[in-house]
Structures are given as C-alpha cells and as structure tokens.
Amino acid sequence: MTARARKRMSTIRRRTWALLGLLSLVAAFVVTFVASSASSAPSSHGTLGTGIECTSGPSFSLKTSTGYISQPDGNSVFMWGYTTSTGSFQMPGPVLCVNEGQTVSVTLTNPAVGGVPEPVSIVFPGQSGVAATGSAGAVDGVFTKEAPPGESVTYTFTAEEPGTYLYESGTKPEKQVQMGLYGVLIVRPALGALYGYNDPQTRFSAEYLVLLNEVDPELHHAVELGQPYTITTRLPRYWHVNGRSFPDIIAANGASWLPTQPYGALVLAQPYDPFTNPLPILVRYANAGMDNHPFHPHGNDLRVIARDGRLLRGPGGEDISFMDFTRTIASGQTYDLLFRWDDVDPWMTGGAPVPVTIPNLQNLVFKDDMTFYSGDPRLGCKGELPVGVTANNLVGEYYLPWHSHAVFEFTNFDEGFGGLATVVAILPSETPEGC
Amino acid sequence: MSEEGNRVSKRPIPSTLTRADLLKLGGLGAAGLLAGGAWAAAARGGASSGLSAAVPTRVGRAAAPAAADRFLQVAATDGYMALPGRPAYPDPDVYVFGFVHVDADATVNELDVFKGKVQQPAPIIGIVDEDDVYWTMTNIGLVVRPDLDDSHTIHFHGFPNASAIFDGVPEVSIAVPVGRSFPYYYKPHRAGTFMYHCHFEDVEHIQMGMQGVVYVRPDSPYKWAYDDSATAFDRQFAVHLTEVWTTPHDNLEAIQETIWSDYEANYWTINGRCYPDTLKPNNDPSLPSQPLSALIQVNAGDRVLLRFINLGYESQAMQLPGIAMTVVGEDASRLRNSSGLGTVDLSYETSTIYIGPGEARDVLFTAPDFVSPGLTDPGNGKSYNRYWLRNRNVHRLTNDGYAGLGGQVTEVRVYNPSAPLGAQTHPNQTYPEFSPPQIPGTSPPAYYKNPWIVF
Amino acid sequence: MSTARGSTKPLRAARLAGTALLAAAVGALILGIPAAAKNEAPKVRQLQAKTSPAGTARLAVSSWTINLCAKTNSAWTIVDSTTVPIWGFALDEGAAGCSDDTAQLPGPVLGIDTPTITAGDTLTINLTNVNVPEKVSVLIPGIPSDELMPDTAGTASSKSYTFTVDDPGSYLYQSGVQSAAAQVGVQMGLYGALVVRAAPGQAYAQSWTAYDSQEVLVLSEIDPALNEDPDGSNCALETPPQPPNCHLRDYAPKYWVINGKAYPDTDPISAVSGDRLLLRYLNAGSINHSMELLGAHQRVIAKDAFPGYPYYVVTETIASGQTVDAITTPCAVGTPPDTELPLSNSNMRLTNGNASPGGMLTFVNLTGSACPSASNMAPLVDAGPNQTSAGPNAVLDGTVWDDFVSPVDVMWTMQSGPGTVTFADPIDVDTTASFSLAGAYVLELEADDGANPSVSDTVMITLANSPPVVDAGPNQTITFPGSAGLNGTVTDDGITPVTLEWTKQSGPGTVTFAPNPNVEDPTASFSASGVYILELTADDGVNAPVSDTVTITVNPTPIHVGDLDGSSTALPSNRWRAFVTITVHNGTHALVSGALVTGTWSLAGDGTATLSCTTNGTGTCQVHSGSLPKAGTPNVRFTVTGVTRANSTYASGANHDPDKGAQASNGTSKTVKRP
C-alpha cells in the first residue's frame, strides 16, 4: 500500500491546486447567478473563466510552436502545437470562431526556429473547397499543401454551414495530431452567436468545449529526442480534454499554474426554470484522437442535436435528435449536445427531507479527507460535515463527473480519478428557504 | 444579424397585458393573472415542444401513479471466479470483488457468511417506474486482502438528476467503509435499461467485478420495455458484456500495483461467464460464483427483449446471424422523438449491436419459426434450433488464447412449439435451472440467493 | 413476388416515416425520375397524399446462382512488395471449375455485375472449399438462408446455400464462426461484399437514396503473425510456450486495407462533380474503423442494410461486421477547385507497419465542375411557446427567420381543437386568436418562401376556463324599515354560463330579495334592524364557486316627543289633578303608535299617578298626576325620561312642541297649572 499511498499523495497535492481554481469559478458563479438569483445570461459563463474562449476570425495567422504541458501527476510532456502568430505555445490550438458565410483564411507559418522540424499542414474536416497557397518552399503533401520549416501556407474556404469542426494536421496525422497539432473551429449560425444552428431551438445559455485526445509519452519523448517511434506499439498513458487531464481541466481558463494549457471545461449549470432559466447549455464534443472514446456525463442525459456540423434533421424536417447517457465519440467526430438539469423530486431544492436517514457522516468515508458534498442531499442545502474533512461545497451545489467509461482512460498513467474527464457543478437557482 | 435573426413581424404586441387589455379582450377581469400561473405550471411539466423535449416527460412533481416501496440489499466483498484455462472449481483462482444479493435489511453481522464468497456479476436488479426504491449496500470487507480497507459505493449509471450523495462518486460525495451500510434511495421517472457499479477507485473496482444490470420497467403492464405497447415482450434477457484483464486481479491478490493504462483484456464475458460456460443454466453447481446464465431459451414466435449493457472498457460488436434485431431503446431512452413535426420512430433494424463502454441497448427480436428436426437439448430433452449470439470482433473469440472458441459467445435456442418452454417468471430464466448453490465452506450449509432481484 | 415485397417493404418504410416516403420514391421511379438527393424537407403532409403499391417499381424477379471457390493464396500483395498468405473466395468462372481461379482479398463483389441483384431475387451460392485447411461456410448477417446456421464445407468438399434477398442494401458474406477451428477464417480473408439494389440508380426505396455512381469499400486489417500461422502452431514455440490461439489474444494488425490494398496501392474513386456518389462501406475486419471524407459531407442512408433517417457526417464508424451506406455529393469548389478529396481512416490507421503514409487511405477524384446552385435557405418557423390562456383569446407570438432570398408568406391555421378559431390577422406572426370553446387547440404557423417546401411549426393553446370574478358591491347603511338596493357585479370569460345567488350569511332578521336572489342587483328588505352580511356567489359550473360579501347595516327608526299638552281638573276638598298628553313622532314627524313613554312628576301627589303610557293609533297617550292640594301647589311638572319602541331609538334631542302660549313646552318637560 505504501507505493499506492505515495502516488496518491502527489495526486492529492495537484488536485488541491485544481480545486482552488474550481472553487473560485463556482464562487464567482454563485455571486453572479445564485446570490442575485438572476437567470443565466447567455454565454456569460465565459466571463467567469470557464466556457469557450474564442479567437475570432475570419482571418487567422497561426504558427507552429513546441513546448511542454504538465500532467496532474507532476509529469510534463513535450508537445507540438498551433498558436497565434503573436502567441506563445499552447495546447490545444486556439478555438477559431467565425460566422456562417464568411470567407475564412488561415495562414500557417512553420518557423525555422521554434517551429516543428518537419513539414506541417492543416486540414479542415467538414469544410468544402479549401484552397491552399504556399510560400516558395511549400510542398504538396498527401492530404494538402505543407509548410516545411521556414515556410508558410494559407488555407482559404467559405464557412458555409454553422457547427463544430476540428482542424488538425494533414501531415502524418498519426504522429502530428498526436503530438498536438489540432484545434476546434466554431462556425456561428446566421441566427447569431447565441444559437448553435439556424434553428431557434438551438439557443443556449452557455457553451462548453470537450475536445479529446490521447498522449503516449513514448511518442513525445522519441520526437523530442529525434529517436524512432514504433506506432504499432502505441500505448496512451494520458488522456486530454481541451489539452488538460483531469483534475486540471476543472481549473479556470488561463489558470496561472497551467501556462501552456489555457482552456478549462468546468460546466456550471442551474435547474431548468421556464422563466428564470429556460435555455439549455450547449456542449460541443470533438475527438482529435486516434481512439474512440465513450463519454459518460453524470447528472443528466445529453440530447444529441448535431453530428459533424450538421443538425440532426430528417428528410421531412423531422427532429431526429436523441438522448443518451454515454456517447461514443469516434476519432474525427464532433457532436453538439444540449444539457439541462431538472428538479424532478419534491425533496430536491430545499424541499422535504429525503425519505431515508443518511447515516452519521462520521461513519462514512470522505476520500482523502476532503469532499465536495454539502452535507445535505438536497440541492441548495448544507449540513454538518465531520471535523477534519475539508469541505469544498459553497451553497449546497452538486458536483458530478463527466468521464470516459473506458475507465482506464479515467486515469493519469496509473492514478485513478484523472485523465479523460471533467465535472459539472449543479447550483441552486437561489438559496432555498426549506433547508 | 441580430441574435433574434430577421423577424417577420408587421407590428409588435404588448409584451405584458394590463388588466385593461384583458377587459378589452373580453371582460376577463382579473382572470388574466390566473392564466399566468397556469402557464407556469404547464411549463414546469415540460409541455413545451422541440428540443426542449429533453425534459423528462414525467416530472416527479406532477402527479405520479401510486408508488410502492421497494427494498433490496447487496453486500460488497471479495471472492474468486473461474475462467477457462485457469484453475476451475473447487479452486478457482481469479480474484474478484463484487456485490452479492442478500436479504433486505440484513445487518453487517448477519452477512458474515458472505465474506470472501462474492458472486459474479452483481445481481440483475429490476425496479418499477415511479416507485420508491430503498437500495442498501453493505460493505462487509475483503477477506483475501484485509489490509485493503477499501470503501465502496453504488453508482446508478444513467440515473437522471440524481442527488450527489446517491450518485456514488466518493470524491464528490461519500463512500461506505468496511462494516457499514448505506441506504441508497432512487425514485425512477423513466423506464429502460441502466447499469450500476462501484465508483470507488473505479478503474480497479469495476474491473474487479463490482458491476451489474439494473433496469426500470413501466409501472404497468409488466412485460413492456417502455411505456409503449410496441415494446411488449414475452421473455427478457440481460446481456451483460464485460472483460476480464487477469493481470490486476492477480496483482491485487499478490499485493502488487497495476498500471491501468496498460489495460489489455484477455477474457470477454457475458453475464460473468465465457463461452462455453455461457450455455450452462442458472445456478449451475459447477459455477457457484458465476450463477447467471447467458443462454437465451425462447419459444418459436416469442417476442424477446435483450437488455444489452457494456461495463467493460472496450467497445464490442455483437451479432445474431439469422435473426433480425430491432433496437428500440438506447441508454434507457426509447428511440422515439416526439418533438418537432410529430412523433418520429428512431428504432432501427440491425445485424450488429455496436456498443461502447457504459452504453445500453434495448433490442427486440421475434423468434423465428421452428424448423425440424433441430437439435435436442440434453438439459430438458426438448428440440430446438440453434442461433449464435456472438462478438464480431473475432479476435476476442478466445479465452486468453487457449484452445477452442471462447469469449462473448452464447446461443439463442428456439424451441419446438409442440413441446414449448413454460412462461418466463424472471429475467434470463433457463430450462432447467438450479436453485441457488451452497455458499462454499459453510456448515451447516448456507445458500446464496438468486442472482436477480426483480419487482 | 411483388406481393411479398409489398408486404415487407412498407413495414420497413413505415418505421421510417410512414409509407408516404416509400410511395413518393416509388412514384418517382415509375416516372423514371431519380429524386434529387438535395431535394430536402419534403413536407410529410404533401407526401401522404400520394399512394402507390410498393411493388410496382419492380419489373421482374430473378433467381441467380453463383459458384464460389474457397482457396488459399500464399502471397496476396497488400502494398508494393508486401505480401501475406490468405484464405479467400474466388468466383468460379471458367470451365475448369475452381482450379483456374485465384483467391482474392476481399472475395468478389456480388450483385453489381455478377449478376446485378435486385431486392426480391433469390440467390443460390454453391461453395467449393478447394484447399482451405479449415471448414468454410457462407454466412450473410441480415439475410436468412435455407440453413439456420450454415453448415460448413470441409476441405475439398462443397455445399449449396440459398438466400431470399428481400431487402436491398450492402451485405457482407463471410465464412461463419461456428466452430473452434473456423474462427480465424474471417481474419484470413474469407469475406466479400454482396450488393442488392432497390432499382436502377436507387439504393433503397427512399427518394434520397438515389445515386449516380457507387463504390464498394471493404475494410479490414491484417496481422501477418496470424496470417502466417493460422493454426497457431508457432504459439507453442514461443518462450514461454503460448496457447494455440495466441495470435487472436495478441492480435496486433500491422496493415489496414481498403478492398485488400493499402495506400498507395489503393484504388482512387472517380466521380463527377455535383453527382451523387454512393459509398458502400463494409467492415470485414475484427476492429472498428471510422472513415472520413474531406471536402464534402457524407449522408449516411443506411446501416446494416436498414434505411433509417439519413444524417450527415464527416466521419462515421463502421463497426466490425457492419455495413454503412453513405451518399456524398462533392463538387469542385474553391480556387483552385478542390478535386482530390482524401477518404481516410480517422482513427489514423495510415501506416503500413511503421511506414507513413499508408493504410486506409484513398481519394475521390472529381471531374467536371458542376455544383449545386447557391442555396435559398428554407424559412425557420417557431410558433412560440405553448400557452394556457384564460380565453376566449390568446396572443400568439410566432417568429419566422429567413435569408429573404425570396419573399416569405406566413399563415396561421388551426390544426385541431374542440371549437373554432378566429385570427385577428392570420398572416401576421404576432396576432390574436379567438376561440369559441374551452379546451386544447393546436395552431400551425406555416412559412413559404416559394423556393423550398413550406415549413411549419405548431403551438398548443390550452384554453383554461377561468373562474368568475365576483364583487358584492359597497357596504350600505339604511334605516329600518327601509330596503337596500344591492349593487353586485360578476365578470367571467363567458366560456361556460354562470349562475348567481344572493344569500344571507348573518343578521338578526330575515332578508327578502326582490325580484329574486339570482340577479346581480336585487333589492333586499329586512325584517328587523341590525347588521346583516349578504353573500353573492357565482358558479361557472367548472371552477369552484366564487363569492364575495357585503355588509348592510339596518339602523332602528329614531323617535322623539312631537307635542306635550297639559290639562288639569279640580277635585273635591280643594285638591286637583294634572294631565299630560304626549305625542310621539318618528324622524319624519309622522305619528308613532305603540311607543312606551316614561317620565317623572315633580310632585307625585296622593293616590295613583301614572308615570308611563303607550301611544295609540294617533301616536298619543296620556299620563296623570296624583291628587294635589290646591294650597301650596300652583303647578306641577312632568318630565319625559324615555320613549321606547321596537326597531326604534329615542332621539331626545329631537323632542319639540309645536304649541305657543299656554301649551308651549320644550318637548321634554311640561308644567301644568292649578285650575
């Protein structure tokens, strides 16, 4: 057990850092949406430090760069990435946001110094008529035109259809995309930025990105040292959401202790209410990895409304969206989903007590002597917690993980409760009276 | 373009109506105020259209049918299972954790007899929509590794809008230590096939076997998968897919660490058994800790419901050549969309059940006509036609590489209507089936309970 | 035969979207017009008008026989100079039986050229296992054969299978997995594609499954360790020795192939810009593969030969053993036009062994430059939130979005409801609807831009019958015996008739309502003075009765002394007696009878003196003093101390006396002089 205990200690330390970030987010949300019992203003979660942070187009100037990311177990991994021409290394690439109908141009420069020491490129799955024009030394690759070190390529296309799309390297993808050359492109519909698609019912109160990939440190180590790597024995050890592994993923966007991993994915939600909180949350899944990942959100099923940037509509305009509690996101796929929480039981928000007697909490286990549990089963209520247990709950909110159900991916190398996961925090709409 | 888009509207309407407006509209007096309240109530009931049909159609606060109280209990402990190519009974050597079916409201002391004698998988649990389900989980500890004072939890996988404390994730709520019971409480508002597993050190405890099927049936009638006559069935079978990677099982027994990202399953099971054990009847004496059969015995013409769940860590592609399967439910949602333009039936016919980890499928088929002469079932002497239900990922049709066909393979046996099977009285019924076996090493002999708890 | 198809096909279609879609497709076929793939959103209502027997598109039914050989091939070329041994199927074409045919990976594509198989045909496959060292069979998941589970044809033996191909689609045919020994047969290469079309240029009955060209893509992967040692005999040679199926347990593919070839040896796909290209994916491998097309979306029209609701994807997973049909309509857009569209495995299985590029990668090469014309976005309609209205009116809040490439007409109509609906302005998205009866109405807002099929959305208006609103009017105070004119008001939505009733809730006497208690403002009369609470109740027969109360205070009549007259009479022995006559008035100085007057005499005198009297019909009564001595008593005074009468009150302040001179008094005291 000592080995296991030691490893767990390192995780706890890092996890606690992450929690600080998390709590600041939740606290901000509480001030904004609970204390004031205001309804969730569309997209305003972003201002709290979570949700999607756009780099706006339609013209983008990107470059390749290399750098290191840190893993929750203290390890660091060498990566290749896209970043803005004025930016520093980040993982994943910037979230490119454009509007339907715009002519998008993405210029990719592969700096001779600080860039990737081999030809690189970008392909835009889901876009049509992507034209590539390169500098003098640009070369034609298998998938598209490529930029060797010191060269650049400009990709131009019209963003015809709204939705969620990947952009990623079209050069040795099994190597370069795994190394980190990927990102997400969001095309806003004609209806406006508060809608997922040109359908009034895709209006959302907030949006979140869940962008998946895997990391086999052997590949990254070999690439860093210029050594050979055997793809046929590939074995991922880390799994990323938005370039971070759990629990780091629930820290704020731009958390200072994750300087090269700017994007978090803590989901903040409140119970559905037809007047004060009528709009669902839009979650954008994308998988840049080589493996299909079964993603399981606790809390409530998500409604799958779109695939690969196309609303799920039948030939007669039928709504063929559907709900599930686990969605296998295949390599290269994107999904748009709607999430909402419903207060379905009388005891839920500050209502009657639950019809069971919760044992004395002294006689239960709080893992690692800390908990996000409020001490009361009801949403918005708080109860006594045992002495010595670090209580992270603010206003009786629920915390529920969203994670890969290929559970070995819900780890960091050999530590559980890590890897391919994030958390949704369900907050009460107001502090209920009944507690 | 504004967020509202281009609005085709000739003139605006008053956003709020004054009492005077209402009077003008027809002498309503104060009635308009009442209407507001009524609309709120309707909205709370989720009566809106379109994608907001994400609302559960039966909101608990709305009137629900008279709910019954249901009490059930499982005990968490360790034990051993038998796998082909590994030592079999009486000395099976694959170390497992699990949940075993015990008497409701049993105390920790009364459960001593089950210590170290767990069965695989956890029992099938069948509960009823809108009932109050009191589900106690008792942690009676590990016998082989008493030094591991691991806690356990129940995670009701897919249960919507669950309170954190009943969701079973220890990092964000609580866990149940050795020697304690915890009263999980659920009030389901939706029928369908779900699953449950321990979420404490989940990558280890799920792989070690703490997983099972839980389904919710509509309150009436009994043999419908969903509240929809199109999902009526004569017989139902849980098809619980998972894998065994023996390395961590052996490591735990040998007090060794496991690097979970090395995951590489070497056994693939249905209801805790590998082919050919999958064909043995329920409570077969040769498999006292794997009591649940995977054999699917039906009469010609029966409507058959297969409740697929996958709690392994790999996707599987199951096929039943010769019989068309219709998927009517996915992840405990009826494949039907009532939003938008009318009702859309999204159920589909398929030859392949592609099912990822943590996913569930409700699959219906109609048993084909019997074709003489068929084969003769040595167990009951009846004649049947044989169909294979098996994993199309053919490299997994092996038991750790040992000789012979193995893994996730079982048979659908369609019996001659001239000598039919009796009506099904519980899921996965086999003909014949044994009564629960003796708990090994008990004297005077104590006995397991059936590997299903259905209401 | 067409009957059989008629009986099966509509069922499949019905599960899809009603027989309508099928009928439409068949109709199109009869006319020989392949429905355009981009002909989106046919309005279901319109389609349902058409009906046509499903079978009529079918002209003839055929029975086909195909001879297949199962053979080994010691050197199948995967890519460039890389070869592996395989077991495979070959088409027995020549006269020399199987001897002159070569096993290929995958087996021959059946149904397109050899022969063209259409739904409803019967297919017989004669299998000869030439030299495959394990049992071989033909199994087609999704198509039942005359064999419940195909028996197996051992080495150098043959077997015949008959399949009735009821439904169109893409099917894998493969060696079955029924015995321990046969389980590696599929991985060794014993598989191929069977393609069944609904009609020429038509993958399935549904209109959107029409295509201009098609390509069959059989996907699989190869682990040379298994191919080179299918019986696992090498496993025992490993250290430590491994069990005989070690190649299955340790399955680790090194090559990823499309139609048996890896890039760059894969065959490119030729297509015409703007045409509909049907891609038939069949995953014969043991691993799931996701296939991605760059430059154009793919529309998945069927999985495992079931034509479900189609949907668009960039990449789709084809599970092991599964088939997926997708139609793509790429067009050469961009400057310069993009004419080489990569079609690749999005799991990035793009290597041959460790060499890149390779694997599951090919291209769709476009010729021509035709593209679908610029789109005119169909309108988007939102009929607004469902509402419960108090009735009889509801304010509708519709919204219509459009790109306004063409003008948009909007129209409100009633789809269902218990009564009739009148729209203030049916062509205004925001208007008022008036309903004739309570209940649930479904209203439809339809928008038509003239270019696309009209689009509509519905909203449900539940017309609640709201309870009446009752006001019993202001409180009143009246004076007995007067009556009160009540002033109640009842307002209601008028959806159901309302009945009224006035009742007495409390009060000392009885109340009479005139003309009756069932009107808003009757006249109420009271039998006695006092405080009365009257209640007005309104009942619309649906909601709980609603009531309101009013307080009527009935004050007693004020009475007073209206005249005091005195007189005297001499008595014997120098004595005398005084008389006082009292007249009682009410507030209007009318004479009041029956009033008891009490008072006091300044000198009582001897004998009897009366101190009270009760007024008679003329409102008067008389009291007299006792016997008084003339000596010393020139006069005597009577003072009224009280006047009492039922429902009356003594207002002494109003006492007065109209008389002047001798009979004058203050109305309360009267002095009478000695005679």
The number of residues making up chain C comes to: 675
pLDDT score for C26: 31
> Is the model's pLDDT at A34 over the cut of 70?
no
B166 backbone dihedrals φ, ψ, rounded to 5°:
-95, 0
| Domain B19-434: CATH architecture, name and number where available | Sandwich (2.60)
| Whether A198 and C351 lie within 8 Å, measured CB to CB | no
Considering only alpha carbons, which residue of chain C is nearest residue A190?
Answer: C403
Q: Judge: B350–C303 Cβ closer than 8 Å, yes or no.
A: yes
The pLDDT assigned to C292 comes to 98
Using a 10 angstrom Cβ sphere, with 0-12 exposed, 13-18 middle and 19 or more buried, the burial of residue C3 is: exposed
Give the closest of C179, C286, C305 to B393, CB-based: C286
User: What pLDDT score does B100 carry?
Assistant: 98
CA-atom Rg of chain A in angstroms = 22
A285 touches chain B (CB under 8 A): no
pLDDT at C61 over 70: no
Q: Alpha helix locations (H) across A34-155?
A: none
Lowest mean pLDDT among A201-210, B211-220, C407-416, C582-591: C407-416
Whether C181 and chain A come into contact, CB under 8 Å, resolves to no
Residue A126 has pLDDT above 60, yes or no: yes
Reply yes or no on whether the pLDDT at A118 is more than 50. Answer: yes
The mean per-residue pLDDT over the stretch A12-17 comes to: 43
Mean pLDDT for the stretch of residues B241-247: 98
Q: pLDDT over 90 for what percent of chain B? A: 79
AA identity, residue B256: Q
The size of chain B, in residues, is 455
Q: Give percent of chain B with pLDDT exceeding 70.
A: 84
**Of the candidates A257, A252, A220, the residue with the CA atom closest to the CA atom of residue A235:** A220
Contacts of A274 (CB under 8 A, 6+ apart): B40, B43, B44, B48
Q: For position C56, what pLDDT does the model report?
A: 36
Cβ-based contacts of B348 with chain C (< 8 Å): 15, 303, 306, 308
Query: Looking at chain C, which subunits does it touch, using at least 3 CB pairs closer than 8 Å as the criterion?
Result: A, B
Nearest to C528 by CA among C550, C547, C552, C544: C552
Question: To 5 degrees, how large is the angle CA C498–CA C503–CA C506?
Answer: 145
Give pLDDT tens digits for B301-329: 999 999 999 999 999 999 999 999 999 99
- DSSP three-state, residue B441: coil
Nearest chain C residue to B340, by CA:
C457
Which of these ranges, B43-52, C326-335, C495-504, C538-547, has the smallest mean pLDDT? Answer: B43-52
Instruction: For residues C656 and C668, give the distance between their C-alpha atoms in angstroms, rounded to a whole number.
Output: 7
Does residue B57 sit at the A interface (CB-CB below 8 Å)? no
C-alpha C449/C-alpha C447 separation (Å) is 7
Per-residue burial over C531-548, b = 16 or more CB atoms within 10 Å of its CB, e = otherwise:
ebebbbbbbbeebeebbb
Angle formed at CA C168 by CA C164 and CA C170, multiple of 5 degrees: 100
Q: How far apart are CA A418 and CA C472, in angstroms?
A: 71
Residue contact A312–C311, C-beta within 8 A: yes
Residue C6 vs residue C326, higher pLDDT: C326
Q: Is B338 on the interface with C (CB under 8 A)?
A: no
The reply to whether B37 touches chain C by the CB within 8 Å rule is no
With CA atoms as reference, report the closest residue to A420 among A211, A254, A166.
A211
Q: Do C179 and B27 touch (CB under 8 A)?
A: no
Chosen for mutation from C469, C470, C493 (greatest number of chain B CBs closer than 10 Å) is: C493
Q: Is A416 helix (H, G, I), strand (E, B) or coil?
A: strand
Contacts of C310 in chain A (CB under 8 A): 314-315
Cβ neighbors of B357 (< 8 A, separation 6 or more) are: A294, A326, A404, A405, A406, A407, B310, B311, B312, B313, B314, B315
Task: Collect all residues of chain B within an 8 Å Cβ-Cβ radius of residue C245.
Answer: 398, 401-404, 406
Q: For a pLDDT cut of 70, what percent of chain C falls above it?
A: 88
Looking at residue B67, its pLDDT comes to 77
Find the closest chain A residue to C223 by CA distance: A232
The model's confidence at residue C333, banded by pLDDT at 50, 70 and 90, is confident
pLDDT in tens, A255-276: 888 999 999 999 999 999 888 8
Question: Which residues are paired to A156 by β-bridges?
Answer: A105, A131
Give the list of residues 6+ apart from residue C579 with CB closer than 8 angstroms, or none. Answer: C566, C567, C568, C569, C622, C623, C624, C625, C672
Taking each helix axis from N to C end, the angle separating C19-30 and C2-17, rounded to the nearest 10 degrees, works out to 130
* pLDDT at res. C170: 97
Candidates C244, C388, C458; nearest CB to B38: C388
Which of C252, C312, C455 shows the shortest C-beta gap to A310? Answer: C312
What residues contact B453, with CB distance under 8 A and at least 6 apart? B72, B101, B123, B124, B125, B126
Q: Kindly tell me if the per-residue pLDDT of C2 is higher than 60.
A: no
Strand B69-81 relative to strand B132-141, pairing: parallel
The top-scoring range by mean pLDDT among B441-445, C20-24, C178-182, C371-375 is B441-445
β-strand pairing of A415-416 with A411-412: antiparallel
Closest CA to C164 of C63, C251, C294: C63
Q: Between residues 211 and 230 of chain A, which touch chain C (CB distance below 8 Å)? A: 230
Q: Does pLDDT of C34 surpass 80? A: no
Indicate the length of chain A as a whole number: 435
Contact in structure between B337 and B344 (CB atoms under 8 Å): yes
Sequence-distant (6+) residues with CB within 8 A of B412 are B296, B298, B304, B320, B323, B367, B386, B387, B388, B389
pLDDT value at residue B221: 67
Binary contact (A342, B55; C-beta < 8 A): yes
Distances in whole angstroms, Cα of residue A171 to Cα of each of A83, A310, C353, C437, C492? 17, 26, 17, 68, 75
Say yes or no for a CB contact (<8 Å) between A128 and C292: no
Asked whether the beta carbons of residue B54 and residue A407 sit closer than 8 angstroms, the reply is no
A143 to chain C, any CB pair closer than 8 A? The answer is: yes
Q: Which residues in chain B have their CB less than 8 angstroms from residue C456's CB?
A: 341
What is the radius of gyration, based on Cα positions, of chain C? 54
At A360, list the tokens.
């004395």
- CA–CA separation, A245 vs A420, rounded Å? 6
Which of A392-401, B378-387, C449-458, C528-537 has the least mean pLDDT? Answer: C449-458
Neighbour-count burial for C657-671, b at 16+ CB within 10 Å, e otherwise? beeeeeeebebbbbb
- The per-residue pLDDT for range C624-639, each reduced to its tens digit, is 999 999 888 889 999 9
Say which of C246, C249, C493 has its CB closest to residue B28: C493
Which pLDDT does position A32 carry in this prediction? 65
pLDDT of residue C131: 93
Nearest CA in chain A to B4: A191
Q: What pLDDT does A425 receive?
A: 94
pLDDT one-digit tens code per residue, C64-118? 999 999 999 999 999 999 999 999 999 998 788 898 999 999 999 999 876 888 8
Cα separation, A403 vs C297, whole angstroms: 29
Mean pLDDT for the stretch of residues B63-81: 85
Identify the pLDDT of residue B44: 27
Q: What string of DSSP letters covers A147-196?
A: B-TTEEEEEEEE--S-EEEEEE--SSHHHHHHHT-EEEEEEE-TT-TTBS
Please give the model's pTM, rounded to 2 decimal places: 0.78
Among C148, C321, C401, the residue with its CB nearest the CB of B322 is C148
pLDDT in tens, C212-256: 999 999 999 999 999 999 999 999 999 999 999 999 999 999 999
Q: What angle do CA B385, B389, B390 make, to 5 degrees?
A: 140
For residue C50, what pLDDT band results from cuts at 50, 70 and 90? very low
pLDDT of residue C436: 80
pLDDT at B46: 30
pLDDT over 90 (residue C550): yes
- Cβ separation of B331 and A321 shorter than 8 Å? no
B38 to chain C nearest CA, in Å? 6
Residues 6+ apart with CB under 8 A from A362: A386
User: Is B8 part of the contact surface with chain A (CB cutoff 8 Å)?
Assistant: no
Query: ipTM of the predicted structure?
Result: 0.89
CA distance A358 to B184: 9
Give the single-character DSSP code of B257.
Answer: -
Strand partners, A67: A79
Q: Give me the residue from A274, A340, A416 closest to B202, CB to CB.
A: A416
**A99-113 pLDDT tens trace:** 999 999 999 999 999
Distances (CA, A) of C643 to C77, C527, C584, C598, C654: 135, 22, 8, 6, 12
- Of the candidate ranges A49-53, B35-39, C123-127, C387-391, the one whose mean pLDDT is the lowest: B35-39
Q: Which of A263-277, B334-348, B361-375 has the lowest mean pLDDT?
A: B334-348
Closest CA relative to residue B355, chosen from B322, B406, B395, B318:
B318
User: Does the pLDDT of residue C422 top 60, yes or no?
Assistant: yes
Whether chain B has a CB inside 8 Å of the CB on A416: the answer is yes
CA distance to partner chain A, nearest, from residue C428 (Å): 19
Asked if B59 lies within 8 A of A201 by C-beta distance, the reply is: no
- pLDDT given at position C453: 81
Q: Ramachandran region of residue C201, left (φ > 0), alpha (ψ -120 to 50) or beta?
A: left
Does the pLDDT value for residue C37 go beyond 80?
A: no
Average pLDDT, chain A: 89
Residue from the list C44, C309, C334 with its beta carbon closest to the beta carbon of A320: C309
Q: What is the DSSP letter of C28?
A: H
Q: What is the pLDDT of residues C194-206, one digit of tens each?
A: 999 999 999 999 9
Choose the weakest-confidence range: A52-66, B374-388, C141-155, C589-603.
C141-155
Q: Between these two residues, C480 and B22, which has the higher pLDDT value? A: C480
More confident position, B12 or C432 = C432
Q: Is C44 helix (H, G, I), strand (E, B) or coil?
A: helix
CA distance C531 to C542: 33
Which residues from B are below 8 Å from A363, CB to CB?
177, 180
The predicted structure's pLDDT at residue A12? 39
> Which residue in chain B is spatially nearest to C318 when comparing CA positions?
B354
Q: How confident is the model at residue B11 (pLDDT cuts 50, 70, 90)?
A: very low
List C72's β-bridge partners, or say none. C87
Residue B187's contacts (CB-CB under 8 Å, 6 or more residues apart) are A345, B60, B67, B130, B131, B132, B133
Mean model confidence pLDDT for chain C: 85
Q: Which of B22, B327, B398, B409 to mutate to test the interface with C (most CBs of C within 10 A)?
A: B398
Listed ranges A159-163, C20-24, C27-31; the one with the highest mean pLDDT: A159-163
**Rounded to whole angstroms, how far apart are CA atoms B381 and B375?**
10
Q: Between residues 28 and 67 of chain A, which touch chain B (CB distance below 8 Å)?
A: 42
pLDDT given for residue C182 in this prediction: 58
Q: What is the pLDDT of residue C378?
A: 78
A138-173 confidence digits (pLDDT tens):
999 999 999 999 999 999 999 999 999 999 999 999
Whole-number pLDDT of residue B9: 30
Rounded CA separation C352/B297 (Å): 45
The whole-angstrom distance between A204's CA and the closest CA on chain B is 11
Q: Is the pLDDT of residue A56 over 90?
A: yes
- The CB density around residue B390, as the number of other CB atoms within 10 Å, is 26
- Smallest CA-to-CA distance from C390 within C460, C459, C462, C440 is with C462
pLDDT at residue B248 tops 50: yes
Residue C381 is predicted with a pLDDT of 83
Q: How confident is the model at residue A22 (pLDDT cuts 50, 70, 90)?
A: low
Lowest mean pLDDT among A215-229, B119-133, C465-479: C465-479
Contact C400 B8 (CB under 8 A): yes
C376, C411 contact by CB (below 8 A)? no
In this structure, of A177-186, A208-217, B25-34, C405-414, the range with the lowest mean pLDDT score is B25-34
Judging contacts by C-beta atoms under 8 Å, the chain A residues touching residue B163 are 348, 354, 377-379, 398
- Determine, for residues B161 and A299 on separate chains, whether the beta-carbon distance falls below 8 Å: yes
* pLDDT(C178) > 70: no
For all residues of chain B together, what is the average pLDDT?
86
CA-only gyration radius of chain B, Å: 25
Q: How do residues C259-271 score in pLDDT, each as one tens digit?
A: 999 999 999 999 9
**Angstrom distance (rounded) from CA C652 to CA C666:** 11
Q: What's the confidence (pLDDT) of residue C420?
A: 87
Q: Exposure of A326 by Cβ count < 10 A (0-12 exposed, 13-18 middle, 19+ buried)?
A: buried
> For residue C404, what pLDDT is reported?
66
Interface contact flag, A372 B164, Cβ < 8 Å:
yes
What subunits touch chain A, counting only 3 or more CB pairs under 8 A?
Answer: B, C
Alpha carbons A359 and A353: distance in angstroms, whole number: 14
Q: Which of A154-163, C304-313, C492-501 has the lowest mean pLDDT?
A: C492-501
Each domain of chain B, given as residue ranges in start order, spans 19-434
A126–C309 C-beta distance less than 8 A: no
